[in-house]
């Protein structure tokens, strides 16, 4: 747990609590529809493809690729020491995309090559919350 | 009512008296200033206005102006809201819900006079971290986003990889638009710039340089819309609404269906083209809401003016510049003219000026103008097609 963490902290809701409960265990879980079999993210109570509520949470491989990114040179409060830092989109091997930060590598255009393979890691920002981030494989 | 083609016309149109930095007026005052200017533009008795559309409180604006409207629209889907208001107003007029609508917009985007919130991106620091259960709060804010500069262009590197768009072509967007702004006295920036100037301006959020990001200004605009039949009663040249569209996509940019194209742009513009019954070749003038340099690129493709991957070279080769075959963003756009936060109203105003033939940097022979708006960060879209050609010819 980092002391003096000043970045925004997510607060789980009834729809997302499984997601954040699993990240705390350093696992990345998303949902899939048992009716049409499609995985999806963000957490929902109905499938965005067929609206079925016959859903299940499953553990992803934690592997993905770099879909796109920007490198922010004007940090928001809490991110001053990180700038310039990449705000990125990872495409999970299971299909869905999510926003993230890229860790374990200097965030430069030379280092960040689209479609490079990434794996999920977790940043324990408090006793209750671990934020998924991604690093090069 | 089979379509909104030639059902309504814009008869009054004006921006705020001042534009740029207006430290002595609240956003509310600027709404009133723009509204009075639009009323005076067409000489209408304000008591004839029986509909009001605005993103601020319609009651507050109506009461300030001494109007008790029969119809209101408070749609707020970001900067394209005013294009959507025009569409809804045309539908309301066509169906007899009201006869004459005031659409008003204004913001103190730069000086924040009377605004409830800080400038977008100015998030206050919270010791121990700001806790947020909202949808963007859980899945985007935690990664250090700071408003549109750090989010709107999120798909551009992907677009570059898939289409071959170069950094120089992206930089050619503000270069082309500055050529228009060069002859627009009310534009905030008018000096001609080069691709090197853009590439050498400081990086705000890679791959975007300062000159590829919109201005932050104060200002507003207002419109008076009435039935096409009644439009000839006014001294101004009627600007007929012949095509309209609207749509929404994802509330947060990371969940767009495909980050290299706007589903809302496609849906909205297709509807507007179909309704207007015009082809792309019929369009003499184009406005594409440009909060950032990639928006005209996405717009040209999603609206169907060029094929996928062709927009960058199309702009770089001068086709949208003065003298080009598709004049675009002829006021200089959000990148050079003004951008108080919700730019859509200014795009409409420039379409109206061009269709009337009274723009500062007028394009010769404009009959038909297409105006494309974006709301949020590819969250929403609105499309309008205007013409000065009389109906039933």
Q: What is the mean pLDDT of residues B237-265?
A: 97
Would you list which residues of chain B are within 8 Å, Cβ to Cβ, of chain A? 121, 123-133, 135, 137-146, 149-151, 153-158, 161, 202-208, 252, 254-255, 259
Q: What is the mean pLDDT of residues B155-184?
A: 98
In this predicted structure, the answer to whether residue B259 has a pLDDT above a threshold of 50 is yes
Mean per-residue pLDDT of chain A: 95
| pLDDT the model gives residue A120 | 98
DSSP letter for B328, please.
B
Are A1 and A126 within 8 A, CB to CB? yes
The shortest C-alpha distance from A89 to chain B (Å) reads 7
The shortest C-alpha distance from B380 to chain A (Å) reads 19
Are B205 and A72 within 8 A, CB to CB? yes
| Type and span of the H or E element at B199 | helix B195-200
At residue B123 the predicted structure's pLDDT band, cuts being 50, 70 and 90, is low
Mean per-residue pLDDT of chain B: 95
CA A86 to chain centroid:
14
Mutual angle of helices B294-302 and B167-181, in 10-degree steps: 90
How do residues B204-217 score in pLDDT, each as one tens digit? 999 999 999 999 99
Binary contact (A11, B133; C-beta < 8 A): yes
Neighbours of B62 (CB within 10 A): 18
Let me know the angle formed at the C-alpha of B188 by B209 and B241, rounded to the nearest 5 degrees: 100
Q: pLDDT over 90 for what percent of chain B?
A: 92
Q: Which domain holds residue B254?
A: 8-114+215-387
Rounded Cα distance, B346 and B74, in Å = 18
- Supply B234's token pair: 């006014």
Binary contact (A13, B207; C-beta < 8 A): no
User: Which residues of A fall within a CB distance of 8 Å from B128?
Assistant: 4-6
User: Which residues of B fall within a CB distance of 8 Å from A125?
Assistant: 129
Question: Shortest CA distance to B340 belongs to which of B24, B76, B108?
Answer: B108
The shortest C-alpha distance from A93 to chain B (Å) reads 16
| pLDDT the model gives residue A77 | 87
Rounded Cα distance, A132 and B325, in Å = 49
Pairing of strands B368-375, B380-387: antiparallel
Are A119 and A103 within 8 A, CB to CB? no
For chain B, the domain total comes to: 1
| pLDDT the model gives residue A105 | 98
| pLDDT the model gives residue B364 | 97
Question: Domains of chain A: which residue ranges?
Answer: 17-136
In this predicted structure, the answer to whether residue B127 has a pLDDT above a threshold of 90 is no
Whether B197 is covered by a domain: the verdict is: no
The shortest C-alpha distance from B327 to chain A (Å) reads 30
Mutate to test the interface with A, among B207, B208, B250, B254 (most CBs of A within 10 A): B254
| pLDDT the model gives residue A1 | 42
* A:B CB pairs within 8 Å: 138
Q: Which of B137, B154, B158 sits opposite A10 (nearest CB)?
A: B137
Whether B180 is covered by a domain: the verdict is: no
In this predicted structure, the answer to whether residue A2 has a pLDDT above a threshold of 50 is no
Whether B349 is covered by a domain: the verdict is: yes
Mutate to test the interface with A, among B134, B135, B147, B157 (most CBs of A within 10 A): B157
Binary contact (B202, A73; C-beta < 8 A): yes
How do residues A21-76 score in pLDDT, each as one tens digit? 999 999 999 999 999 999 999 999 999 999 999 999 999 999 999 999 999 999 88
In this predicted structure, the answer to whether residue B393 has a pLDDT above a threshold of 70 is no
CATH number for the domain harbouring residue B322 = 3.40.47.10
User: Looking at this predicted complex, what is its ipTM?
Assistant: 0.96
| pLDDT the model gives residue A98 | 98
| pLDDT the model gives residue A124 | 97
Q: pLDDT over 70 for what percent of chain B?
A: 96
Alpha-carbon distance values, B351 to B44, B188, B304, B387 (Å): 21, 19, 19, 9
Residue bearing the bigger pLDDT, B256 or B146: B256
In this predicted structure, the answer to whether residue B52 has a pLDDT above a threshold of 70 is yes
How do residues B353-384 score in pLDDT, each as one tens digit? 999 999 999 999 999 999 999 999 999 999 99
Binary contact (A70, B206; C-beta < 8 A): yes
In this predicted structure, the answer to whether residue B102 has a pLDDT above a threshold of 60 is yes
At residue B146 the predicted structure's pLDDT band, cuts being 50, 70 and 90, is confident
Find the closest chain A residue to B158 by CA distance.
A68
User: Which residues of A fall within a CB distance of 8 Å from B150?
Assistant: 70, 72, 74, 87
The percent helix, strand, coil of chain B (3-state, each to 5) is: 35, 20, 45
Would you list which residues of chain A are within 8 Å, Cβ to Cβ, of chain B? 4-13, 16, 42, 67-79, 82, 84-85, 87-89, 97-101, 109, 114-115, 125-126, 131
In this predicted structure, the answer to whether residue B159 has a pLDDT above a threshold of 70 is yes
In this predicted structure, the answer to whether residue B28 has a pLDDT above a threshold of 60 is yes
| pLDDT the model gives residue B125 | 58
Question: Shortest CA distance to B311 belongs to which of B295, B322, B290?
Answer: B295
Binary contact (B129, A8; C-beta < 8 A): yes
At residue B124 the predicted structure's pLDDT band, cuts being 50, 70 and 90, is low
| Type and span of the H or E element at B374 | strand B368-375
Binary contact (A10, B142; C-beta < 8 A): yes
């Amino acid at each position: 747990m980092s002391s003096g963490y000043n970045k925004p902290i997510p607060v789980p809701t009834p729809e997302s609590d499984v997601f954040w409960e699993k990240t705390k265990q350093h696992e990345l879980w998303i949902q899939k529809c048992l009716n049409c079999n499609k995985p999806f993210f963000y957490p929902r109570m109905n499938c965005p493809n067929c609206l079925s509520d016959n859903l299940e949470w499953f553990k992803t491989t934690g592997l993905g690729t770099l879909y796109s990114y920007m490198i922010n040179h004007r940090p928001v409060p809490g991110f001053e020491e990180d700038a310039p830092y990449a705000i990125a989109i990872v495409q999970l091997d299971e299909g869905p995309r999510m926003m993230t930060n890229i860790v374990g590598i200097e965030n430069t255009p030379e280092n960040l090559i689209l479609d490079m393979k990434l794996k999920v890691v977790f940043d324990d920002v408090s006793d209750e919350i671990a934020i998924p981030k991604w690093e090069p494989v | 009512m089979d379509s909104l083609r030639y059902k309504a016309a814009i008869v009054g149109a004006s921006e705020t008296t001042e534009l740029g930095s207006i430290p002595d007026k609240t956003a509310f005052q600027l709404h009133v200033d723009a509204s009075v200017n639009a009323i005076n533009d067409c000489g209408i008795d304000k008591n004839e206005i029986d509909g009001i559309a605005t993103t601020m409180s319609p009651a507050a604006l109506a009461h300030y102006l001494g109007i008790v409207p029969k119809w209101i629209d408070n749609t707020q889907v970001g900067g394209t809201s005013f294009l959507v208001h025009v569409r809804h107003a045309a539908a309301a007029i066509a169906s007899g819900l009201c006869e004459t609508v005031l659409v008003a917009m204004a913001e103190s985007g730069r000086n924040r006079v009377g605004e409830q919130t800080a400038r977008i991106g100015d998030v206050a620091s919270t010791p121990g971290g700001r806790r947020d259960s909202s949808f963007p709060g859980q899945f985007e804010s935690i990664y250090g986003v700071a408003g549109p500069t750090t989010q709107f262009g999120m798909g551009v590197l992907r677009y570059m990889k898939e289409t071959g768009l170069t950094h120089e072509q992206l930089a050619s967007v503000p270069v082309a638009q500055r050529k228009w702004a060069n002859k627009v006295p009310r534009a905030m920036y008018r000096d001609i710039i080069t691709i090197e100037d853009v590439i050498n301006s400081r990086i705000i959020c890679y791959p975007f340089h300062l000159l590829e990001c919109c201005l932050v200004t104060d200002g507003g605009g207002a419109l008076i819309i009435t039935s096409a039949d009644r439009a000839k009663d006014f001294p101004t040249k009627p600007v007929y609404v012949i095509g309209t569209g609207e749509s929404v996509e994802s509330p947060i940019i990371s969940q767009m269906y495909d980050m290299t194209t706007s589903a809302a742009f496609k849906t909205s513009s297709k509807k507007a083209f179909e309704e207007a019954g015009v082809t792309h070749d019929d369009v003499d003038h184009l406005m594409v809401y440009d909060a950032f340099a990639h928006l005209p690129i996405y717009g040209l493709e999603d609206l169907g003016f060029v094929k996928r991957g062709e927009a960058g070279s199309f702009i770089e080769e001068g086709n949208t510049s003065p003298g080009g075959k598709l004049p675009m963003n002829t006021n200089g756009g959000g990148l050079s003219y003004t951008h108080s936060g919700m730019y859509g109203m200014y795009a409409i105003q420039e379409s109206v000026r061009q269709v009337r033939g009274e723009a500062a940097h007028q394009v010769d022979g404009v009959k038909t103008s297409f105006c494309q708006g974006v709301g949020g960060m590819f969250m929403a879209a609105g499309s309008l097609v205007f013409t000065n050609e009389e109906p039933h010819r």
